[in-house]
Every structure is written in structure tokens, then in C-alpha cells.
Structure 1
Amino acid sequence: MIRRSCTSLLGCLFSPLLLADETALVLKQQIVSAPSVESTTVADMAQYGSKVEIVTREQIERAGPSADVSRVMQMFIPGLYVAPKNGPFDYGTYSLLGGRNDDTLILLDGVRLNNRLYGGLYLDTLPANAIERIEVLKGGQSLLFGTQAVSGVINIVTRSPQSREVSGEVNLGVDTFGGTTGDARAEKIFNNGFGDLGLLAYVSRNVSEGYQPFRNRDMKNVTDKKRSYEVSTFGGKAIQSFSDDSRLELFYQYADANLDFAGATNNHKTTNDRVQQIATATFEQSLSERLSYFIKGHINDWDTRYTRILNTEGGGTTVKNHNDYWGFTDWGIQAEGKALLPGDHVLVFGSDNQWFKGQDDVLIIDNNKAQAHALYTQLRPKIDALPDWHPSIGIRHEAMSGGDSATVGMLTSLYDLNDNWALRGQYGTAYKLPNAEQLFVNEPGDERGNRNLKPEKSRNAELGVDYKGNLFNRDFSASLTVFKRKITDLITLDGEQWVNGQGQIQMRGFEADARLALNDQWSLQADMTRNLTESRAGVTLNDIPSFFARSRVGYESVDRMWGAGSAIRYIRDVISSKKVEYGHYSVVDADAYRYLDNAHQHRVSLLVENLFDRDYVTSRSANVDNLGRPFTSEVRYTYRF
């Protein structure tokens, strides 16, 4: 992908990009010189009509000492509904622009985290201390990102080395539920004869007794009433530049987690002991000012040992599962190029190839291997007669072993009406390939796979208007997006058989967000989302709130030595898969920080979650309410060197 000449790696990582408040993204300069291709994908789409949000490192640090990725996203991504099942480091429910739980594609440095063998999102081993920023690209994005990018893409970007001096930080935190956290990071950039070499390493550990996720009246014969967790992670990144024309980036992360799996009936002790390893290697090169490319390989390996011990009516225990294994390996290679054509038209083209295998000692799957291969291209024309119009058009074809292939296209458009107003829109098709469970599961009396399943397809349209300027002589930005999605060939269970449903389901709604600087110290931001579902086949989409909203007020002292903020989120009705309604709650959080020295080396932070100790339901399982986190206060000390 073509970039202007750069003197720093981070200077090359981004072309102009809109933050959540729609101001230009400002990143700390990194000294490693080299072009970056792949890392600009999300940023580029913001210039052609897709809505982009960025969660910054500063926001991540405010999410609390034991923050995992779900907590960060819940607090700071406008329009994203997040409901962690039983608190930090647990499964969650996610919805972006009215999408279902797995309609949003989650990436870690461009590597797919969605499980293609069993479905679902697994973010419960990702610590927030390893993350530099979170990029959110909204709307149907299958063109560049493939299956499951139906309602959007969330790319979690890990930290990179940024200093020639040895630098880093240490964090220590505690919370009122017996939780302790500790993490550390160190980095340095060298010159080793080939060019600049940047090295970074991090480690973290999060331990907690957890809280009781069920009401007393719902628990029957339960010994382990709290859902505890113990998560240890270490990782590292190396970036080697070769002059200013190419670079090689290597990344590795190892996570070891012992996670309780809470149960409301007869539960003595249930655990998932999990090890996840993620590794990537990316080579990027600018062949000329008009042609550049990247090649990226990755592996995501997940191994879980599942143990379930139940209480019996007579007072004893019985072992239902003992270290039963389930896991998967996802590996692949992607190549993408970007060419600047005569007339300054831009052509993007690429190939994305993935292979999967898995094993489950509990769920019988006859065929536990799969592969998918895709080709895609996108043209971004420059029209001299309309210099304020920035369109794009593209097509993608993907084939998977088992099930049919899918072909999708997308049109996007950004039109700068003037210095303050911009009109954007996108229209296209997206798809979701069937996973291995849906194709090959073989559990007689429960569920059976269907090798003839077709990919789920959707037609997506988003139209938005953005404003950036002044209100009452204060900085003000606002955005409104309306969306509509029609889903056909819905993959669903008909009794015990997986099938493609008849008819179509329609999701429509709107999302609005705004940010206002009340003065140099005070700021106010808010967002709201309305979802409306219409089914023409009797099938409904579950666990999607009909309406939710958030607002936050923040204060920063004049000398930036301390700050504080408070936020409220409101969730209206949500319908579970059992057609039971839940939701209808408001939760208030507050946070504050104080630097202890003028050099900003020592800092104390405070997060208070669920300030008024509201009893609320995040999801339902087995007709029992899963409760959100009660009043929790967390304190963290940070030392930077």
C-alpha cells in the first residue's frame, strides 16, 4: 500500500484518521524507520466512507487495573453493545450496528480471533496492558476482511517499541473483590547494522476471587458460588527495518488462564484451564513510490482442559468431566498489494488463505479440519472533476472446504460538503461461512451438521453525516449513521438439524454520537443506538438490545496533573434465545487519576464500577439470570521509566 515518504514507523502507520471525537489521530513518534502497509487498512477506509472509531491508550488506562478487552470496549466504543457474562476475563455478548454476537470480526494485529471451527468470540485471555489502541470499522466489511465482518471489524493493535532509551512501566492494582493485578513492559530500539531493531516485551498477571454471578434464590446445591479467574500472559514484539523501504515484524503472545465456569445448579467446581498462543510474522516493502505490498503469516493455537465436578443430592460429588480437551489451531497467510495507477487512482489487491483444525472430547464433530481461500480487489478512483468525492468499489470471492463459496462486492463513498460537513455511505454484500460444528457435528438427539449448508449472506447499507466545528464557540463534533441489513440463508437449528432458513431477516436502525468541549477542562460525550428487527420467516435474532445509550463527562486539570470522569450507560429490553426479556437497567461508573510528580512518572488511578450497586442482568443461561458486576472499586499505581 502506498504511503508518503516517512521518517518514522508510526508516521507511516497512519494517514489522516478520525478519532472518536473526529479530530486527527496523533500518535507518539516511533524511531524505527520503515514503511507500513497492512496497518493502514482501517485508516484508509475512513477516507472512503466507512465510519471509524479509535480507542486510545489513554482511554485503555482508565478502564481499571484488571481491565480486559471487553471492559475497555464496553466503556469507550460508541455504538458497541458489550455485556460480559460474569465479569472480567469471561465470554461476552457483543452487538455492533444491530449485529449478532459473531457478526463482528475481531482481529489481533490483523489476525482473526473469531473461532471458525466452533463459532463465537474468545477475548477472555487478552490483557489490556498489551494494547496500544483499538480500531473499529463499522458496517459490512467482508470485501477486505472476509467472513463474519457482517456488521463491522474490531482490530486490536498491540504495543510497539517507541524509544531508543530503555523505557517502560510497571502497574500494580487491587480491587474490592480480592482481585490483584500486576503488569510490566520494557522496550528499546537499537541499530544493528541492518537498520533499526525495536524490541518490546510485556508480562501481566490478573487474579480474583470474583463475584457471585447468580442470585441466591436461583442457586441450588452449589458449592463454588463465585466465578474466579487467574490469567498470566507474556509476549513480545521485534521490528527490524531494512533502510526506509522494508521491514520485518515478529510478534508472539502466550496466555495461561484458569477460569471458573459458573453454574447455578449442583455446581461444585467447573473450570476451563486454557493456554493460547498467537504468533505472527509480517514483511512489508515499498518497491517504488507507486507499488508496495505485505505478506503476513499467523498461527493462533488454543488448548483447553475442561473439568466439571457436580454435587449430588446425597451430599457427595461426581466428576462429569476431567481434563476433557477442546481446542483448535488456525493458521494462514495473507498477501496484499497497493498500486498507484496513472491518474492517481489506487488499486488494492490481495489473497487470504487460512487452514483450521480442532478437537473436542465432549462435542462430536466428524470432520474437524477446514480451509478457506479468497481473492479480492478494490479500486479507489480519483475524479478530478469532483475533488471532494472519494469513492471505492471492490469484489471478493472466497471458497471453503465444506459448504458453498461466497462472492461479495462493496461500494463506498465519502463527500466533503465543506470544511465542517461530510456525507458518507456504503452499500454491499457480506457473508458468514458455516463453521465446522454447523457442517459436521454429530450428536444424535441433540444436533446434526449439514454438509450442504450455504454461506449466510446479507445486503448492507449505511448512510451517515459527520460534523466537526463549533457549538457555542466550543469544539464540537457529531455523527449520525442509519443502517439497514437484510439476511438470507440464515444458518439456524431446525430441531436438531442445522439448515439454511427460508425467507429473510431485516435489521435496521440508527446510531448517533457527539462530543462537546465545554471549556479547556470539561468535556461531554454521548452516543445512542436504536435497533429494529423484522423477520419474514418466524426466525428472530437474539440478545440484541432494542436501544442503548451512554454518556460521559470528563475533567482535566489545567496542568494535566489530575483528572476525573463519570459515565452512565442505559440498556433497554433484550430478548434471549428462550424468548425471555431482560435488560432495562442503567449503570454508573466513575474514574480518576493523579500524577504524583511533575515528570509524570508516578500515578495513582481509581475506577469505581457500578457506583450505585445496581442489580442488573447481562445474559440468561438455562433460564437463570447472569448478573453484571456489582459495586467494585479498583486502585492502581503506575511507575514509568
Structure 2
Amino acid sequence: MIRRSFTPLVGCLFSPLLLADDNALILNAQLVSAPSVESTTVAAMARYGSKIDVVSRAQIERAGPAADVSRVMQMFIPGLYVAPKNGPFDYGTYSLLGGRNDDTLILLDGVRLNNRLYGGLYIDTLPANAIERIEVLKGGQSLLFGTQAVSGVINIVTRSPQTPSASGEVNLGVDTFGGTTGDARVEKLFNNGWGDMGLLAYVSRNASEGHQPFRNRDMTNVSNKKRAYEVTTFGTKAIQSFGDHSRLELFYQYADANLDFARPVASHKTTNDRVQQIATATFEQNINERLSYFVKGHINDWDTRYTRINNLDAGGTQVINHNDYWGFTDWGVQAEGKAQLPGGHVWIVGSDNQWFKGQDDVLVIDNNKAQAHALYTQLRPQIDALPDWHPSLGVRHEAMSGGDSATVGMLTSLYDLNENWALRGQYGTAYKLPNAEQLFVNETDEKGNRHLKPEKSRNAELGVDYRGSLAGRDFNASVTLFKREITDLITLNDRLWVNGQGQVKMRGFEADARLALNQQWSVQADMTRNLTESRAGVTINDIPSFFARSRIGFESQSRLWGAGAAIRYIRDIASSRQVEYGHYSVVDADAYRYLDSTHQHRVSLLVENLFDRDYVTSRSNNVDNLGRPFTSEVRYTYRF
């Protein structure tokens, strides 16, 4: 068990993550000896002034019917707006601290998932059962993480082996739409001739006929009005330590998904048949008490077959696309070293190298290969005269083949005012490299531009955190002010991608708090206000001006059962055609009961949209995409 002293890793401060009685952040013990590579860079930045929130495994299990990653993030991450397009395992809209859909960098165990072909976020096939926790590092983070970390970084940490005897769990669930979920996991730690070794494997399957994502009046000549999905995933992880100072970690995940692509007009059949494979290998070593390093390699391979068959008004069908291919492969190597210098200073230096290629049978892209290489360094000084001040400063340079280079800098600061209060802040520049479509697309109505410059932004965050008590009860609270100014915006000018003269300024605040009413009851809430200013015709779409969440939870004294309810409110949102939507509140609920005192058998009830609210998650082609209606799921869990 890891217990952190007061720093804004209590940026979790409210977090639904502080689940222990003393409100300390608790992560599962890693029993394999030697250092752990899991997201150490993300967690370390919390000690130097970056705000971090963590979604725990317990929260993931309460995320709702057939939870995928988007659903988990929608419920539990302060400052993050998530709107799944048509329910589970679908594309979504994401906005962290007012950022655009691709201003947030998504990592899986520190490996980039954002695709360089289109720049989008494709996480719709990641199963929640494979995840141990989700770490969210807020604000511009290009220094250590590179392109697209404009508004923050979300690091999805997969589960690791943790028990010396063979153990695991099995989950089975069914929901009110006939959807079924099933998953299993097994793990074991043992010692071999080199040191400790841990093995873990998991498998999951989620399938449903789905719900109707459009109103009847908006659907014309559609054969199947429901949006179905079928996702099967297998994953494995192996961790081998070499003594107490070196460690090798191998991870592989295979996902096979058949996903309906819902369309409201003339749709006979539209599907994405997808296979995604992710593999990582990481070696790290503590050379001595002052020097350590890690080397990480990864491959992210995505292959989709797209089929679109239209219904004709006169009867019959027309094949528009038949198993047309689109996909990409990203692979890369990152190396980072850390040195403890005399005087307590810490120096970080690293190199991040990526190669990627893509192909699309529908969208013509002339040059489907590219690469990017970066060098970065960061100093974390220790100032003896100010022992409660923890600053850092650094610089990064990245060059991309076929495009321009970018250089950014970042300064962060954490000051512990006393045992209850801390003041944090960060200021720096961030960048977003043009993607392959923007550089090389060659269609009659869309042309790429090989001379595009990276988008640049200046980012500032200032926050205050409190951890203590209110009326004699444990209380944590946090407020963060943010401001972002983006220039060299990459935009379409008629048919050509250009760096426009427009400029966008985003500012706002995020506040969150958690109060333990007593040993059984707790309440938590968060709110985010986004204010956008733009010029030269630039618009920012599909980002709510305000959204908020609140949750109340109860745990019995015996911890054999518990229940909770949550409400999220979304204010006005403007679509790309400046049509306003939003203005809704949705209530979710959950309850669980262990059937035995050893916590081996558990039954859970999960409810999404308790009052069956009709609400709009997004708009496309002047049609409303509807959020999932009332859905309940009963789930049985067996742990061994």
C-alpha cells in the first residue's frame, strides 16, 4: 500500500478516488520486487504542481451497464466532459478543461493511443475489466508527453498480477436491452531463478442489440433502428524482476469488435468490423541510488473493415462500401533517465521516437507514412531556503517528417502552505502536430498541405487544494483556474488545410470537493465552467459552457453492502452548425451485496438514466444523437 503525504496527488482532493477512511490515496500493492514503470511520470508530476485525479478500480466496477472506458470517464473524472455518440463502445466527444476533442492525449500504460492518421481518440474497444485505474494529469503537458497533450493527459493503467497464489475473478451480467457481459481474469506471482515473476491473463465479451439512438421522426427508410455491438478482448501481462533493481514488463491485448455505425437515413447495414492489437515492452533499472532509467517500445495496430449498404427509395439496396479497409499502425521507442543530483535536485532527460503509417480505401491520403522524434529535459530543483516549495522547469523539441518542428517549455510549482493547504500552478507552451490527413489528403473537396506548422498554445493553471476537516468530518476540496490561448490553428480554408489567422482563448475553472458525513455516508461533487473567446471566424463546437456532477454513497459498517446515486448536469452546447443542444440532467444509481463474509460472491445492480430522460449527446447532419435510455444491469462476481 502506498500512502502519499499532502501534495496534489490530492489534486484528487475531491476525487471519487479517495476511498480509504483517512482519505489517503491508496493504490494496490505491487508485490513483484524491483521498480514499477506503471505511469511513474504521470504520478510524479503531481508533486510539482500539476493537478491529477485518479479513478479507482472500485469506481470502475460501479460505472454502469456494460461499462466501457468512455462510460467510466464520463462518471468519475472532474473537469472532463464525455458524450458517447450512440452508447457503449462507440466514438465520443471528449473535452478536458475546455479542450477540443483531440486536445487530450490518451495513454495505455504510458503508450500513446491517439491515432496520427486523423488525430482522433479511438478508445471504443477498451474493456473496463482490464483496467486497474485511470490517471488524469490536467493542463498543457507537451513537455513530457508531446503532441496533443494540450489540455491534459489521461493514462489508462492496466491490471497487474498482485497475489502470490493463483487468484482471479469471473463476472457475468445481463441488462434490460438483452445485452450480456462476461469476463474472467487469472493471475499468479512466483519466484524463478532470476527473481519475482508475475503472470496475468484476462478475457471479456460484451454484446447487445443496443438501443435506438435517433427519434422516430428523424429516421427514414432504415432497416434496423437499433445500434448493436459485439466486442471480444483477450489480454496478458508478464512482469519479471531481476533482483531488486531491474524489471521487464511485457503486455499484449487483442480486441475483435463488430460495431454498428448508426445512420438515420436510408441505412440497410453500416458496420465497422475491427481488430486492434496493442503490445508493449518496458525495461527499467535503478543503476544505483542516484541513477535510474527505462526503455519502452510499443506497437498499436488498428484494422477496420467498413461496410455501408443503403436502402433505395424504390426498393432494393445499393452497396456503397464493402469491407473497405481503413487502419493504422503506430510504433515507437521511448527512453528516459533520471538522476538525483547533489543537493537533492532531480534531472530528467529523455527521447521519444515514433513511426506511423495508415491506409484508407475511402479517403485518399498520398503519403501514409511519417515519423516524429523528440528530445526533452526537465530539472526539479530542491531549494533549501524554501523547503516547502517544489518547482520544475523543462524544454522539449520535436520534429516530424513532412511537417514543421515544435519547441515548448514548461514551469510548474507546488507550495505547501501548511499541513492542510497547498498552492499549485503551471505555465508553459504546448503544441499539436498536423496529422496525416491534414498534411497529405488528396480528395476533390479536401486537399492536404505539406507546409502546415504545428498549432501552438500558451497554457496557465493556478489552483489551491485543501485537505482537512469540516465540522469534524474529513473534507477535501480543490479549485483550479485555467487559461489557454491557441494560435496557428489548423483549419480548412474552402478545400485546403491551412494555418489560419484565427485565435482561440479558453478560460474557466474547475472545482471539486468530497465530504465524509460519517463512517458510512459520503458526498462528493465537481463543476466546470468553460468560457471561449475567438476571432477571425474561428469556432469551438460541442463543448458545454458548464457541467457538474454530484454523488452520494453509502457503505454498511460490515462492508457487505453499499449503494450510491449520482447526477450529472450539462448546460448549453453549440453544434458545428451553431444549433444549441444540451440542457439536461441524468441520474444513475448502483448497489451491491456480498453474499458471504469472505467477499467471494457479489451481486451488483447498476442503473443508467434512472428516470429515462430523453437527452441529446451530439448532433450530426441536423439530427440529434440520443443518449442511452433507462438501462439496468444485474451482475454477478465470483472471486477466488
Q: TM tier, shorter chain? A: over 0.9
* Structure 2 residue 179 is the aligned partner of structure 1 residue 163: no
Distance 1:548 1:205 in 2: 33
CA contact (8 A) 1:12 1:34 kept: no
* Structure 2 residue 587 is the aligned partner of structure 1 residue 597: no
Shift of residue 24, structure 1, vs aligned partner: 2.9
Q: TM-score, normalised by structure 1?
A: 0.97
Shift of residue 29, structure 1, vs aligned partner: 2.2
Stretch deviating more after TM superposition (20-29 or 456-465):
20-29
The code of the aligned residue for 1:593 comes to Y
Distance 1:537 1:375 in 2: 34
Look up the match of 1:618.
617
Look up the match of 1:452.
451
Distance 1:527 1:557 in 2: 25
Stretch deviating more after TM superposition (572-581 or 160-169):
572-581
Shift of residue 302, structure 1, vs aligned partner: 0.2
The code of the aligned residue for 2:287 comes to L
Q: Residue 600 and residue 38 in structure 1: after superposition, are their counterparts in 2 closer, same or farther (change >3 A)?
A: closer
The code of the aligned residue for 1:273 comes to D
Shift of residue 403, structure 1, vs aligned partner: 1.6
Q: Any idea what the Cα deviations from partners look like across 1:469-519, whole Å, max 9, x if unmatched?
A: 111110001100010000000111111111111042100000000000111
* Structure 2 residue 82 is the aligned partner of structure 1 residue 82: yes
CA contact (8 A) 2:38 2:157 kept: no
Q: Any idea what the Cα deviations from partners look like across 1:109-128, whole Å, max 9, x if unmatched?
A: 11111111111101111000
Distance 2:172 2:94 in 1: 29
Q: Any idea what the Cα deviations from partners look like across 1:387-412, whole Å, max 9, x if unmatched?
A: 01000000000000112100000000
Shift of residue 15, structure 1, vs aligned partner: 11
CA contact (8 A) 1:13 1:35 kept: no
> Counterparts in 2 of 1:90-239, with a 5 A limit?
90-239=90-239
Shift of residue 70, structure 1, vs aligned partner: 0.3
Shift of residue 14, structure 1, vs aligned partner: 12
Distance 1:382 1:250 in 2: 35
Look up the match of 1:482.
481
What's the secondary structure of 2:60's corresponding residue? helix
Q: TM-score, normalised by structure 2?
A: 0.97
Distance 1:559 1:502 in 2: 62
The code of the aligned residue for 2:441 comes to V
What's the secondary structure of 1:87's corresponding residue? coil
What's the secondary structure of 2:438's corresponding residue? helix
Distance 1:528 1:41 in 2: 27
CA contact (8 A) 2:233 2:255 kept: yes
* Structure 2 residue 426 is the aligned partner of structure 1 residue 408: no
Distance 1:400 1:451 in 2: 11
Look up the match of 1:70.
70
Distance 1:39 1:501 in 2: 36
The code of the aligned residue for 2:226 comes to K
What's the secondary structure of 1:207's corresponding residue? strand
Distance 1:632 1:434 in 2: 40
> Counterparts in 2 of 1:467-478, with a 5 A limit?
467-478=466-477
Q: Residue 281 and residue 13 in structure 1: after superposition, are their counterparts in 2 closer, same or farther (change >3 A)?
A: farther
Q: Any idea what the Cα deviations from partners look like across 1:115-165, whole Å, max 9, x if unmatched?
A: 111111011110000000000000000000000000000000000000110
CA contact (8 A) 2:55 2:133 kept: yes
The code of the aligned residue for 2:118 comes to Y
Distance 1:505 1:518 in 2: 42
What's the secondary structure of 2:437's corresponding residue? helix
* Structure 2 residue 546 is the aligned partner of structure 1 residue 551: no
Shift of residue 579, structure 1, vs aligned partner: 1.3
The code of the aligned residue for 2:353 comes to N
Stretch deviating more after TM superposition (553-562 or 58-67):
58-67
Shift of residue 580, structure 1, vs aligned partner: 1.1
Look up the match of 2:48.
48
Q: Residue 15 and residue 321 in structure 1: after superposition, are their counterparts in 2 closer, same or farther (change >3 A)?
A: farther
CA contact (8 A) 1:254 1:277 kept: yes
Q: Residue 522 and residue 15 in structure 1: after superposition, are their counterparts in 2 closer, same or farther (change >3 A)?
A: closer
Which runs of 5 or more residues in structure 2 are unaligned? Answer: none
> Counterparts in 2 of 1:374-453, with a 5 A limit?
374-444=374-444, 446-453=445-452
Q: Percent identity?
A: 84
The code of the aligned residue for 1:358 comes to G
What's the secondary structure of 1:516's corresponding residue? strand
Q: Residue 267 and residue 178 in structure 1: after superposition, are their counterparts in 2 closer, same or farther (change >3 A)?
A: same
The code of the aligned residue for 2:119 comes to G
Shift of residue 63, structure 1, vs aligned partner: 1.1
* Structure 2 residue 577 is the aligned partner of structure 1 residue 581: no
What's the secondary structure of 1:374's corresponding residue? strand
Distance 1:571 1:636 in 2: 29
The code of the aligned residue for 2:299 comes to I
* Structure 2 residue 336 is the aligned partner of structure 1 residue 324: no
Stretch deviating more after TM superposition (20-29 or 257-266):
20-29
Distance 1:279 1:139 in 2: 28
Distance 1:322 1:238 in 2: 39
Distance 1:101 1:218 in 2: 26
CA contact (8 A) 1:428 1:459 kept: yes
CA contact (8 A) 2:38 2:109 kept: no
The code of the aligned residue for 1:211 comes to H
What's the secondary structure of 2:122's corresponding residue? coil
Shift of residue 11, structure 1, vs aligned partner: 5.8
Distance 2:111 2:351 in 1: 14
Stretch deviating more after TM superposition (24-33 or 338-347):
24-33
Distance 2:6 2:271 in 1: 45
Shift of residue 30, structure 1, vs aligned partner: 2.7
The code of the aligned residue for 1:308 comes to R
What's the secondary structure of 1:540's corresponding residue? coil
Give the aligned CA root-mean-square deviation in angstroms.
Answer: 1.3
The code of the aligned residue for 2:389 comes to W
The code of the aligned residue for 2:264 comes to A
Look up the match of 1:4.
none
Q: Residue 11 and residue 612 in structure 1: after superposition, are their counterparts in 2 closer, same or farther (change >3 A)?
A: closer
CA contact (8 A) 2:65 2:608 kept: no
Distance 2:456 2:3 in 1: 36
Shift of residue 42, structure 1, vs aligned partner: 1.1
CA contact (8 A) 1:13 1:40 kept: no
